[in-house]
Structure 1
Amino acid sequence: MKKVNHYHHKKVLVLGLAKSGVAAASLLHRLGAFVTVNDYLPLSENQEAQGLLEKGITVICGGHPIELLDEGFELIVKNPGIPYHNPMIEEAVKKGIPIITEVELAYQISEADFVAITGTNGKTTTTTLVFDMLKAGGKLPLIAGNIGTVASTVAEEATVDHTIVIELSSFQLMGITSFNPKIAILTNLYDAHLDYHGTSKEYVQAKSNITRNQTNNEFLIVNADQEETMRVASHSHAKIIPFSTKRKLDFGAYLNDGAVYFNDEQVIELNEILLPGAHNLENILSAMAAAKLSGVSNEAIIHVLHSFTGVKHRLQFICEHKERKFYNDSKATNILATKNAIAAFREPIVLLAGGLDRGNEFDELIPYLKNVKAVVTFGQTAKKIEQAAIKAGIKTIQHVDNVEKAVPVAYQLSDPGDVILLSPACASWDQYKTFEVRGDIFIQAVHMLK
């Protein structure tokens, strides 16, 4: 960890806890700051706040009193989930109090370079692929952020020999000032989180912060197949490394004649890659580009792509049982994700779908259901998905109570050579606390078939 003195005796408010808030408050306390933590959950129900109180940190719980901002704070470290239209944040902005997120704090103390990944889809898979490729290549990667340990905790342990591979959300990127990754990846951009950002423009602006501080000494790996991502790249000062699944490029990562290339060098044949899905080729290309820029050999990259079957709950291969292949795509909480999952297979599919009803219809799925031979539905949206399946001409449709019951029914409807795919196209909250819980129940039910 770098020696950082500028927080000594600085009055800092950590707003919102969870893992990142606890880590930020603890770190700032060790750096000599006068730390106050403010969390909405009452102290009696707040074990994290109680732990900080025992360390001698001032804790105020049970609400966000705006008058707290009159105490002369010089900085706010905000939980990424708290939107900027929160009254406390709006008042802090009026008072001119700087606001950062914990990722910025991590960058300030880190001796290690960062490889940072953002985008609407594919962040987690790309982050995992980069980490695995760097590790296979003999580098010393550490994984942080949304799919790893809290960034500032990792940064405390990292040395100049490490590389921190981090997945970043738009929420986190809104709270940076000096954060500057050696390599940044922008996977793609679609409308998302508009309830938080308000407009598509604000969302894209937040994502583009990943390259805001980059110079010609750093790299931005960017999707060359999207106008919006290339527009972001046009404003970057970094060296632009494009990737494309649709055309051969003069340089960067691309597909050509059934193989994956970086610049003019063939790295691997497409038929050697284990991870299914056209959308995953974007993730593979961008991760490979980051690995090559980091000095990883083709052999190490090939080794990873020969064995990588996907991140848990994201088109994750579970097993093959009696010539049926089972895939867990519980993270598919929207129609676009399910479209991508279905398009990943040429084999006949028995699709398990359903979940929380957000008021939308599912007619967008119809053109993608051509190789779906049967549908098993569950949850609030079951009838809507069944209507879409009927319109698509699917004759075998069954409704069950939940995912656990869907698995044996799907098996009975399948034949050797089929894919049995959980890709719900819906959030899980009508029946399950998280998509992870839903996916774990699917996995358990698959193993029960054995």
Structure 2
Amino acid sequence: MKKLNDFPFAHVLVLGLAKSGTAAAKVLLANGKKVRVNDRNATKEDEVVIQLQELGAEVIVGGHPIEVLDEIEIIVKNPGIPYDNPVIVEAERRNIPVITEIEIAYSLVEGPIIGITGSNGKTTTTTLITEMLEKSQQPVKVAGNIGIVAIDAAQSLEKEESLVLELSSFQLQGIDKFRPKIAVLLNIFEAHLDYHKTLDNYVQAKCNIFKQQTSDDYLVYNADDNIITDAVRHAKAALIPFSTKKKLENGAWIDEEYIYFKDDKVISRDEVVLVGEHNIENILAAIAAAKLDGATNEGIRKVLSIFSGVKHRLQYIDTINGRLFYNDSKATNMLATQKALSAFMQPTILLAGGLDRGNEFTDLLPYLSNVKAMVLFGQTKEKLEDLGHQAGIKTIEFAGNVEEAVKKAYAISNVDDVILLSPSCASWDQYRTFEERGDMFIQAVHKLV
């Protein structure tokens, strides 16, 4: 077990278990800290609760009593717990610091960190950077919001290895000393306001990624995003822009034929497999970060010539009898579906629907020009049907679930059609997760063969 660096607190409250809280508690206990764990949803019989107690933690379950703050010097908070939680409110009143697990992981890492954040495209960019470094024979591990706990990755990280971290605004709001060698800021759209309350709070959380950087570090940023270009004026790191709209002397950019880093032709656009204009931004950001950490053009080309997308994020599945199938189950909002629809010029059959959060879908209307048919499911199918009628789409069908939707879409499709799952809704009316929904789509496509 690695030793924590520069963590002077003796009595720590870990608020919320899950994977990150459990990992944080174990590291803190191994470093001789007095640890109290509080989780509202856990029970005394849970295996992880028993395990932490055996390791020496005090575990309080079933609620969040204010008394858990007694004698506490710092809180390590699960990123999903909002800051209006009564325990957090009282902690701030008592001037008790509140951090997330990312800050603990940072105390364990000796080598360079590449941190990636943004409203959209984090997972794709994180994956691209990691694979570009791997193909360039650079030592690297990946973790963070991508599903791998940063602390766990940090435990096995060698000094010469880079750690690539996907970071959410929830994680970044709870940092203090965290300082990536390379920070990547992709884009900022209005999101998660139920958590952050205001757009300014959300922007500030995202921009925490470069808060502790110095002139020895790099900040890769979207030069086409006005919110970001305004925010990075205050950054101390060396600024490395990327843009799909203009030539850059000191960043990643694109013309009609090639993708460049500075004045270096990295790859021909024709060699890139990944579809979607938004993914060009992700590719440019990934190239900039990977090149700064030692990636070669050969390694980058090896990745971009075969990489067709992260699972459930505009992921190419198969071509069956001339029909191209794409899984974009991660599209749980209209913005994501807009980006998916914009990726294709050919006739498209859209599979959409899901949890009804009270949204209307009129913002999708300008993006339906290539949609020849819709197959709809879930609570929002009638709303989406109305949208289809407004767009003049003549073929609109209902399905009981995603598997049935695939069969119906294939039955009404022609050669060269795209069959796209991009629900524009959360999955929880029918599926536990968007991953489960996407897996059903993939299985249904494979059954067509």
| TM-score, scaled relative to structure 2 | 0.98
Pairing 1:56–2:56 present: yes
**Distance in 2 between residues matched to 1:174 and 1:125, nearest whole Å:** 22
CA contact (8 A) 2:103 2:175 kept: yes
Aligned to 2:231: 232
State how far apart, in whole Å, the 2-side matches of 1:264 and 1:44 are.
61
- Secondary structure at the aligned position of 1:339 is classed as helix
Q: Could you tell which deviates more after superposition, 148-157 or 24-33? A: 148-157
Q: Describe the shift of the 1:99–1:264 C-alpha distance in structure 2 as closer, same or farther (beyond 3 A).
A: same
1:6-405 aligned at under 5 Å gives the runs 10-44=10-44, 46-70=46-70, 72-405=71-404
Q: What is the DSSP-based 3-state SS (H/G/I as helix, E as strand, rest coil) of the residue aligned with 1:125?
A: helix
Q: Distance in 2 between matches of 1:193 and 1:400?
A: 30
CA distance in 2, matches of 1:2, 1:257: 49
Worse-superposed segment, 195-204 or 43-52: 43-52
Counterparts of 2:170 and 2:180 in 1: how far apart (Å)? 17
Q: CA deviation at 1:148?
A: 3.8
Mapped to 1, the partners of 2:447 and 2:198 lie a distance apart of: 46
Quick one: distance in 1 between partners of 2:256 and 2:111? 38
**What secondary structure is seen at the aligned counterpart in 1 of 2:291?**
helix
- Offset at 1:45? 5.5
Report SS of the residue matched to 2:305: helix
Q: Please state whether the residue corresponding to 1:331 is helix, strand or coil.
A: coil
Question: In structure 2, what is the Cα distance between the partners aligned to 1:148 and 1:381?
Answer: 29
How far, CA to CA, are the matches of 1:313 and 1:188 in structure 2? 20
Gaps of 5+ in 2: none
Contact preservation (8 Å) 1:7, 1:32:
no
Cα pair 1:184 1:211 within 8 Å, conserved: yes
1:430 aligns with 429
Residue 442, structure 1, aligned to residue 441, structure 2:
yes
- Inter-partner Cα distance in structure 1 for 2:210 and 2:9: 31
Q: Distance in 2 between matches of 1:68 and 1:408?
A: 53
Tell me how large the CA RMSD over aligned residues is. Answer: 1.3
User: Hey, what's the Cα distance between the residues in 1 that align with 2:255 and 2:23?
Assistant: 45
Normalization by structure 1: what TM-score? 0.98
Instruction: Kindly state the Cα deviation for residue 48 of structure 1 after the two structures are TM-superposed.
Output: 2.1
CA offset at residue 44 of structure 1? 3.8
Residue 62 of structure 1 aligns with an amino acid whose one-letter code is G
**Contact 1:131 1:142 (8 Å CA) reproduced:** yes
Q: What is the rounded CA distance, in whole Å, between the counterparts of 1:341 and 1:42 in structure 2?
A: 38
Q: CA 1:357–1:249 in structure 2 vs 1: closer, same or farther (change >3 Å)?
A: same
- Distance in 2 (CA, whole Å) between partners of 1:421 and 1:333 is 14
Structure 1 position 247, deviation (Å): 1.6
CA distance, structure 1, for counterparts of residue 232 and residue 393 of structure 2: 43
Tell me how far 1:4 sits from its aligned partner.
3.3
Q: Quote the Cα distance in structure 2 between the aligned partners of 1:129 and 1:420.
A: 25
**CA deviation digits over 1:386-421, x for unaligned, max 9?**
111111111111111111100010001100111110
What is the CA-CA distance between 1:5 and the residue it aligns to? Answer: 6.4
- Counterpart-to-counterpart distance in 2, 1:9 and 1:290: 34
Give the Cα–Cα distance (whole angstroms) in 2 for the partners of residues 368 and 41 of structure 1. 42
Shift in Å, 1:68: 2.1
Q: d(CA) in 2 for partners of 1:359 and 1:14? A: 35
**Deviation >6 Å, runs of 4+:** none
Residue type at the aligned position of 1:23: A
Matched AA of 2:48: E
Aligned partner letter, 1:315: L
Distance 1:236 1:167 in 2: 20
Please say if residues 18 and 48 of structure 1, whose CA atoms lie closer than 8 Å, have aligned partners that are also in contact.
no
Task: Letter of the 2:25 partner, please give it.
Answer: A
Structure 1: 5+ residue stretches without partners: none
Return the offset for 1:2: 5.9
Name the SS for the 1:43 alignment partner: coil
Matched-pair contact (CA < 8 Å) for 1:5–1:31:
no
Counterpart secondary structure, 1:109: coil
- Deviation of 1:11 after TM superposition, in Å, equals 0.9
Q: Deviations over 1:210-245 (max 9, x none)?
A: 000001100000000011011121111000000011
